[in-house]
Structure 1
Amino acid sequence: MNIKFRLTVMSFLQFFVWGAWLITVANYWFGTKQWSGAEFGAIFSTLGISSIIMPAITGIVADKWVNAEKLYGVLHILGGLALLYIPQVDNPTTFYWVIFAAMMCYMPTISLSNSVAYNILKENKFDVVKVFPPIRVWGTIGFIVAMWITNLTGNKASYNMFYLSAFAAFALGIYSFTLPKCPPQKLISEDASFGEKFGLSAFKLFGTYKMALFFIFSMFLGGALQLTNMYGDVYLSEFANVPEYADSFVVKYSTIIMSISQISETLFILAIPFFLRKFGIKQVMLISMLAWVLRFGLFSFGNPVDGLWMIILSCVVYGMAFDFFNISGSLFVETTTSPKIRSSAQGLFMMMSNGFGAFFGGLISGVVIDTFFTNNGVRDWHGIWLAFAGYALVIAIAFAVLFKHKHDPKDVESVSH
C-alpha cells in the first residue's frame, strides 16, 4: 500500500482520537454530570502535566530500546483502555485520575507520530519538508470529522464520545504495528549526562534575556491556548437556557460551529509564509496575541441570532491566533539557537506553552470562573470571555514593549522551501 496514504491514515486517526471528546467534554462534565467548574479546570491541566513529563521519557525509550511504531501502538492501546473506563466513573476525583492516565498515554503520541512519519518518509527517500505537511493536515481533518460525528449522532454530552475515542485509539494502536519498522537510533551515548539524555541542556537558554522572555511569554500565551477548547462548546450549548436561543442552529450544532476553528487553522497555515516574509517573526507573534484578544472578545459579545457573525468570526480568527504563534515561535527557536540544542530547545518551547502554560491555564481559569463568574450554577459567559480578552491584551502589550527582535528576511527563507 502507498506509504503516504498509510501515514495519512495514521495522522487522521491520531487526532480523531482527541477530537471525539476534547471539545465536548465540558458538556458531559457540566451538563450530564453536573460537576463544578473549579474541578473541570484541573481536568485540562492533565494535558499540561503529560506534555511536561511524557514526551522526553518516551523519546528516550524510542531512541534507545523500543521501535517507535511499537511504542506508539502500545501507548494508544493503553490510552484506549483508560478512555473505555471513563463512562463507569461517577465522581470528579476518579474522573481526573482516569483522564490523567489517558493523557499520559496520548500526549507523547503526538510527537511520536511525527517521529514515525519522518523516519518512514526518510527511509523511503521522500522529501520530508514537501511531503509531510499535506499528511499532517489530515490530522486536523480527523479532529474535525470526530467533532462532527460526536455532534450529529447526538453525543456531545454523552459518555459515547469516550467509547468512540477508545475505539479509534484501539484501531490506531493495532494499525501502527503494521507500519514499517522504526528501530531505535541510539544517538544518545551511554556516558551522556542526565541533562543531555533528558534535553535539559536547553534550560541554559534561560540565561539569555531575550530567550528567557520568549519562553515566559510562551507560557503565558499557552495559558490561553486551551481556554476555548475547554469552554467553547459548553458556552454555545448553554444558550439553550435563554428561551429565544433555545432552538437555534448554534445550540443544536455547537460542536460543528466550533469546528470552524479547526478548518480555519488549516487555511491560515498556508498564509504563514507570506506574513513572515512581510512582517517578520516578532510582528507575526504579536498579530497572534491580538487575534486571541479578538477570539475572546467576539465570543463575549456574540449570540446565536443577530450576533452569530461574531461567533463565526471568532472561530475564523482562531486559526490565526493558534497557528501564528506556534509556527512563528518554532521558527524563532530554529533561527536563534545552536544546532546542538535545537531539538531540546523546540521541546522546551512546547513544554512552556503546551505544558506549563496549559497546566496553569487550566487550573487557574477553573478557579476564576467558579469564584467570580458563577452564581448558583449559572455562568456569566460575557464576563468570562471579556476577562480572557483582557488577559490576552495585557500579554500583547507587554510583549510589544519588552520583546526586541529585528526582522531578518533570511530567517524566514526556510518557510517557503
Structure 2
Amino acid sequence: MSTLNVRLSLMMFLQFFIWGGWFVTLGTFLANNLGANGSQIGMAFSTQSWGAILAPFVIGLIADRYFNAERLLAILHLVGAVLLFQLYRSSDFAAFYPYVLGYMIIYMPTLALVNAVAFRQMRDPGQEFAKIRVWGTVGWIVAGLTISFLFGWDAQQSIAAGALRNTFLMCAIASAVLGIYSFSLPSTPPLATRGQGGLKEMLGLDALRLLKDRSFAMFFLASVLICIPLAFYYQNANPFLAEIGVDNPTGKMTLGQISEVLFMLLLPLFIQRFGIKKTLLIGMLAWSLRYAMFAYGNNGDLLFMLVAGIALHGICYDFFFVSGQIYTDAKAGETFKGSAQGLITLATYGMGMLIGFWVAGMVTDHFATPQGHDWQSIWLFPAVFALGVLLTFLVAFHEQRAVKLPTSAKVA
C-alpha cells in the first residue's frame, strides 16, 4: 500500500471510529444514565436524519464552491470535538439534545468530505476505493471492541455507574486528532464545475423523473419503508442486549460490521448470479428473520439466535442498501447518476430514518414495563413490517432489463 493510501486509510479509520464509538451505545446511555424514554431516544437518533437532510446544503453550497474539502473536514471535526465534549458533560436529556443535534448536523457532511478527499487522489476509484473505505469499517469495529473488551464500559455495573459517558470523551479526543490530521491531507480544492446545477440538482430532485418508471418507484418506496425496521436496530439493539444481561453487548455487535465486510465482497457475485430483484428480496427477508431471532432468542440457551441476528447485518445492509445503490446507478444512466444517488440518500437516511426513529420510539414506549421492556413484542413489530414490505415488493416490482454491474462494485 502506498504512503498516500495509508494516509487516506487512517482518515477513514478515524472517521468511523468516531461515529461507532458513541452511536452504538447511545440508546443504552440515554435510557440508563439520562432517564430518557423511547420517544426521547428516537429524537436523539433522528438527529442523524436531520444531518443527512442538511448535508447536501453544506457540501453543495460550501465545499463544492468555496473551500478545500480537507480544510472544511478539519474545521468540522474540531468543532465536533467541542460538541462531543459537551455531550460528555451533559447531565440530562434537555441539555444533551441540542448538542447531539448540532453535532450530527456537522458530522454527516464529513461522510461526503472524506469520500471527496479520497476519490480525488485516485487514478482508478473502482479498484482503489474499497481497499481504503474498508478501514472505516475496521474503525467502527475497533471502537466497539474498545468499549466492550478494553474498558468494559458496557458491562452492567459500569453502565449503572455511568461509564458509557466516557464514550463521548473518547470520541471527542479522536475527533480533535482527525481535525488536526485533516490539515495534512492532500489538497482537495473545489471543482469549478460542481454545484452549478442549482439547488434542485444538489438535492437530487432532478432525478425525480425516474419515479415515472413503476419498478424504480416501487424500489424507492421500499427503500423508505425498510428504513423503519432499520431504525429499530440502530435505536434498540444495544439497549436490548444490555437490558437482558448479555455480556459485552457492544463488542458482540461488531459482528455486524465484520459480516458487512464479508457480504460486501460476495455481493457482486450474487447480483451477477441471481439478479437484482432476488438480491433485494433476500436483504428484506434477512431483516424480518433477524428481528424474529431477537424476539425469540434469550441470554441463555438461545443466545446463539441473538448472535446470528447480529451477524445477519451484512446481508440486511449490503443486499438491500448497497445493491439498491447499484440498481439506482444502473437505472439513472449517465445523466442522473449523482442526482439519483442523492435522492436515494435523502429518502433513506433522511426521510425514511426520520420516520423510522419516530415509530421505533413510539413502539418502544408502548411496550415499556415497570421491569424494563416487552422486547418480544417490540422486535415482532419490525419483523412483521419488513415481511410486509417484502411481500409488497415481490408482487409490485417487475424489472425486465438486466442490471449491469458498475465497475466500482466489482471485486478487485
**TM-score under structure 2 normalisation?**
0.93
Matched with 1:376 is 370
**Structure 1 contact 265–322 (Cα < 8 Å) conserved:** yes
SS of equivalent to 1:159:
helix
Matches within 5 A, 1:314-353: 314-353=309-348
1:262: which partner in 2?
Answer: 257
From 170, 174, 178, the counterpart of 1:168: 174
* Distance verdict in 2 for CA 1:194–1:305, change over 3 Å: closer
- AA in 2 matched with 1:210: S
The question of 1:117 aligning with 2:90 is answered no
Aligned residue in 2 for 1:247: none
Which residue of 2 is the match for residue 400 of structure 1?
394
Distance 1:142 1:189 in 2: 31
Amino acid at match of 1:170: A
**Equivalent residue in structure 2 for 1:220, among 210, 225, 242:** 225
Which range is displaced more, 52-61 or 380-389?
Answer: 52-61
- Separation of aligned partners in 2, 1:28 and 1:377: 18
How much does 1:412 deviate? 6.2
Decide whether the 8 Å contact of 2:64 with 2:195 is kept in 1.
no
Aligned to 2:66: 65
Distance 1:197 1:412, change over 3 A: closer
Residues 50, 107 of structure 1: 8 Å contact kept: yes
Aligned length: 401
Q: Distance in 1 between matches of 2:6 and 2:96?
A: 36
What SS class does the counterpart of residue 301 from structure 2 fall into? coil
The letter for the 1-side match of 2:152 is G
Aligned pairs for 1:73-92 within 5 A: 73-92=74-93
2:144 paired residue number? 147
Q: Contact conserved, 1:213 with 1:403, CA < 8 A, in 2?
A: yes
- Secondary structure of 1:95's aligned partner: helix
Query: How far did 1:414 drift?
Result: 6.3
CA deviations 1:49-68 (Å, max 9, x no partner) are: 11011234323322111001
Q: Secondary structure at the match of 1:226?
A: helix
Counterpart of 2:273 in structure 1: which amino acid? K
Deviation readout 1:199-240 (Å, 9 max, x if unpaired): 431233334333222212111112222321211111111113
CA distance in 2 between partners of 1:79 and 1:253 (Å): 27
> How far is 1:328 from its partner?
1.0
State the AA in 1 paired with 2:241. Answer: L
Deviation string, structure 1 residues 114-136 (Cα, Å, up to 9, x no partner): 11100122xxxx32111110111
Partner deviation per Cα, 1:377-407 (whole Å, 9 max, x = no partner): 6211111111110111001111111111126
Q: Distance in 1 between matches of 2:165 and 2:294?
A: 27
Residues 1:178 and 2:184 aligned together = yes
State the distance in 2 between where 1:337 and 1:409 align.
Answer: 11
Task: List gaps (5 residues or longer) in structure 1.
Answer: 241-250
CA contact (8 A) 1:279 1:407 kept: no
Partner residue, 1:134: 131
Deviation readout 1:309-347 (Å, 9 max, x if unpaired): 111111121110111111111111111114222101101
Q: Given that residues 236 and 254 in structure 1 are in contact (C-alpha distance below 8 angstroms), is that contact kept between their aligned partners in structure 2?
A: yes
For 2:200 and 2:348, how far apart are their aligned partners in 1? 21
Residue 248 of structure 1 aligns with which residue?
none
Amino acid across the alignment from 1:224: P
Give the RMSD, CA atoms, in angstroms.
1.8
| 1:175-212 deviation line (CA, Å, top 9, x unaligned) | 1110110011011476x444235443123333433322
CA contact (8 A) 1:277 1:412 kept: no
